[in-house]
Amino acid sequence: MAKEHNFSFNGGEHLTKIGATWFVSYSFHLQNKEHLNWKKPKTHKGRVSVFNRTKNYHKFWLQQVVNMDNDRLNTNKLDINAEQVKQMAKTLLNHKKNNTIGDSK
């Protein structure tokens, strides 16, 4: 069995479970209900549960995603390319009234 890669920053083990692109996609959906790519994985309900338990990391994670490697982000199965993921993360970071983004520990 291959060793699973964990993101090596605060809360990275949780972000690894849900996926960086999925995290950004679901966060974006909370601001734009028409965005539904986050629903593509059959495991999306479990991911929402992890998302809800980790709100204290969300702002920090969005900052990390902006600097992630495009090739790795492009491996997602949500039909969102790396540049789109990063643009959504930037939009969320710039959204002053986003109450789903907490501060990192």
Q: Using pLDDT thresholds of 50, 70 and 90, give the confidence band for residue 26.
A: very high
Mean pLDDT of the region 49-68: 96
Q: How far apart are CA 88 and CA 29, in angstroms?
A: 10
Stretch (H or E) spanning 45:
helix 44-53
* Residue predicted with more confidence, 13 or 101: 13
Q: Average model confidence (pLDDT) for the chain?
A: 88
**Burial of residue 38 (number of CB atoms within 10 Å: 0-12, 13-18, 19+):** buried
Is the pTM higher than 0.75? The answer reads yes
* pLDDT at position 2: 39
* pLDDT at position 8: 84
